[in-house]
């Protein structure tokens, strides 16, 4: 059963895109508990292992979501793939820049540019 708290997954050419829609404005612990396994399984199933996570609607996330991003990246990277983030709000981008994760993961303005960057 698909719940309202399920990110959308679709293919854009050879890239699996996981989109966090308007219901994911805040990625808090409660929300993460509901979607963590879903997101990790989607990353594991990506074939080829190229994943973009689109966070265009997300205004806040904390360290627990960064852990999820690391786990997704590890799965994709371990399979020889590529990973990027798209559509970050200024606050979310700043969190990743302060933690220097922008050096590890490409941060692109939108899905189309992220897909092009890792394809």
pLDDT number for residue 5: 83
Model confidence at 61: pLDDT above 70: yes
Asked if residue 55 has pLDDT above 60, the reply is: yes
Q: What is the pTM of this model?
A: 0.94
Averaged pLDDT for residues 25-46? 95
Domains of the chain as residue ranges with CATH: 8-118 (3.30.750.24)
Q: Is the pLDDT of residue 13 over 60?
A: yes
Q: What is the DSSP string of 42-100?
A: HHHH-SSSEEEEE-TT--EE-HHHHHHHHHHHHHHHHTT-EEEEE---HHHHHHHHHTT
């Amino acid at each position: 059963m698909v719940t309202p708290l399920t990110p959308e997954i679709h293919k854009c050419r050879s890239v699996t895109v996981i989109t966090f829609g308007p219901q994911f404005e805040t990625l808090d612990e409660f929300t993460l508990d509901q979607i963590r396994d879903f997101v990790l399984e989607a990353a594991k199933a990506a074939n080829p292992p190229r994943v973009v996570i689109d966070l265009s609607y997300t205004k806040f996330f904390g360290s627990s979501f960064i852990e999820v991003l690391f786990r997704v990246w590890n799965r994709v990277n371990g399979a020889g793939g590529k990973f990027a983030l798209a559509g970050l709000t200024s606050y979310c981008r700043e969190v990743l820049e302060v933690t220097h994760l922008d050096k590890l993961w490409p941060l692109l303005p939108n899905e189309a540019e992220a897909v092009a960057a890792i394809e």
